[in-house]
Amino acid sequence: MTVVGPIPGLHVRGGGVAFPRDVNASAPELTNDDVHAMVLGPDWREQLQVRGRDNDHAERVWGVRRRQWCRGLDGTVWVQTTELAEMAARRALEDAGLDKVDLLIVATSTPDRMTATSAARVAKSLGLTCGAFDIHGAGAGAISALITAAQFLLGGLSTVLVVAADAVSPIVAPDDLNGRLLFAGGAAAVVVERRGNTRGLLGGLMNSAAVDGRPFTVPGPLPPKPDGDYVFQQPDAEYRYALYHGWKLLMESMRRKFIAPVDLFLPYPITLPQIAAAAEALDVPLEHTWHTLGEHGCVGCAGPLVSLVERRARFGLDGTVALAAVAGGLTGAALLWSFSEDK
């Protein structure tokens, strides 16, 4: 377990989000019934009955009502990951009132290209010449990027732009109904700065574990080949069990190391039951959690940062906020952040 902090004075100066339709109006916003019809065909109601599922299952059980895809079932590409990242980053800079920063970090598990740096393309689009690099931390990528940014700010930088973006829909199989209902595309960005010596980061945790079972992943080896191994696979029971215990370990470690009441919990959101289990492990009432599953579905590593930015925009940030993610077979990251009307 890697323990970070505290780092006083850490502050969110600006934030922004972006979804496929923000970049390309042709990208559809799909209801659950839209997805049912696209994946199962015109007799989708009967197909759901055969599967023993109601047509409101995705909303009632998982909490997802709508989502935006980056690529259609026929292969039509509406939006790429870096385009989402660029728009979210631009909005964050505008919100912060800045046209440059000292460092750019982009978290993604779905880059446009296998080897090219997503951060470099985003920097070019924004006219930035600062240092820029990617972080690939699966679902924990955004929080790992925030913790990394905090270290650079502690080292003397003034501002760091952290962007998280994922385009998950292009790697979900066309006939994978669960995956098509759950996963979507989105991005979020924050400008983080350090000012003063009050509040700020109370602490952060990072850990990893090699676990058995079949994880959420695209199993094909690199370089890619045109076969069936290059679509997202659903995890098996063994991996789900490991994932549950990974969340429990990280949350219990957070409670022990950082003794502070949590006013708001922003977990990596995939489904409502997974959010509830994470909140229980952190010993936070479910009503103190916040997520955007209903509006956006699971947008990969961008999820916790989307929640942070949208919560800040709607209500401001005040009190102690916990962010956490466990994913990727397994890697975990969590932080505890103290805000005071930070908007």
Q: Is the pLDDT of residue 182 over 90?
A: yes
Residues contacting residue 42 through CB under 8 Å, at least 6 positions apart: none
Residue 250 binned pLDDT confidence (cut-offs 50, 70, 90): very high
* pLDDT confidence of residue 154: 92
- Please give the average per-residue pLDDT across 160-186, as a whole number: 93
C-alpha distances (whole Å) from 249 to each of 1, 146, 278, 332 are 10, 21, 10, 10
Identify which of 24-33, 68-77, 171-180, 248-257 has the greatest average pLDDT.
24-33
Alpha-carbon gap, residue 166 to 278, rounded angstroms: 22
Q: And the tokens for 177?
A: 């109904």
Q: Is the pLDDT of residue 246 over 70?
A: yes
Which helix (H) or strand (E) is 38 found in, with range? helix 32-40
CATH number, span 2-7+199-339:
3.40.47.10
Q: Which of 87, 71, 4 is nearest to 258 (CA)?
A: 4
For the residues of 176-235, what is the DSSP string, one character each? -HHHHHHB-EEEEEEEEEE-SSSSEEEEEEEEE----S--SB--PPSSP-SSTTSSBB--
* pLDDT confidence of residue 201: 92
Q: Is the pLDDT of residue 245 over 70?
A: yes
Residue 197 binned pLDDT confidence (cut-offs 50, 70, 90): confident
* pLDDT confidence of residue 239: 83
- Please give the average per-residue pLDDT across 122-127, as a whole number: 96
Tallying the residues shown for the chain, one arrives at 343
What φ, ψ does residue 56 adopt, rounded to 5°? -100, 15
> pTM for this one?
0.93
- Please give the average per-residue pLDDT across 17-23, as a whole number: 97
* pLDDT confidence of residue 193: 95
Q: Is the pLDDT of residue 325 over 70?
A: yes
The domain ranges of the chain are 2-7+199-339, 13-194
* pLDDT confidence of residue 113: 86
Residue 227 binned pLDDT confidence (cut-offs 50, 70, 90): low
pLDDT tens-digit readout, 275-293:
999 999 999 999 999 999 9
- Please give the average per-residue pLDDT across 174-194, as a whole number: 95
- Please give the average per-residue pLDDT across 307-323, as a whole number: 93
* pLDDT confidence of residue 228: 66
Q: Which of 206, 319, 198 is nearest to 261 (CA)?
A: 319
* pLDDT confidence of residue 226: 66
- Please give the average per-residue pLDDT across 215-228, as a whole number: 69
> In Å, how far from its chain's centre is CA 204?
17
Please determine whether the domains at 2-7+199-339 and 13-194 fall in the same fold group of CATH.
yes
- Please give the average per-residue pLDDT across 55-74, as a whole number: 93
Residues contacting residue 76 through CB under 8 Å, at least 6 positions apart: none
pLDDT tens-digit readout, 133-156:
999 998 999 999 999 999 999 999
Q: What rounded mean pLDDT belongs to the chain?
A: 91
CATH number, span 13-194:
3.40.47.10
In the chain, which ranges are E strands?
Answer: 2-4, 7-8, 10-18, 29-31, 66-68, 103-107, 131-135, 159-167, 185-194, 200-208, 264-267, 319-327, 331-339
Q: Is the pLDDT of residue 29 over 60?
A: yes
Of the candidate ranges 117-131, 252-266, 294-308, the one whose mean pLDDT is the lowest: 252-266
Percent of the chain surpassing pLDDT 90:
71
Q: Is the pLDDT of residue 229 over 80?
A: no
pLDDT tens-digit readout, 74-115:
888 999 999 999 999 999 999 999 999 999 999 999 998 877
Cis peptide bond upstream of 330, omega within 30 = yes
Residue 234 binned pLDDT confidence (cut-offs 50, 70, 90): confident
pLDDT tens-digit readout, 301-311:
999 999 999 99
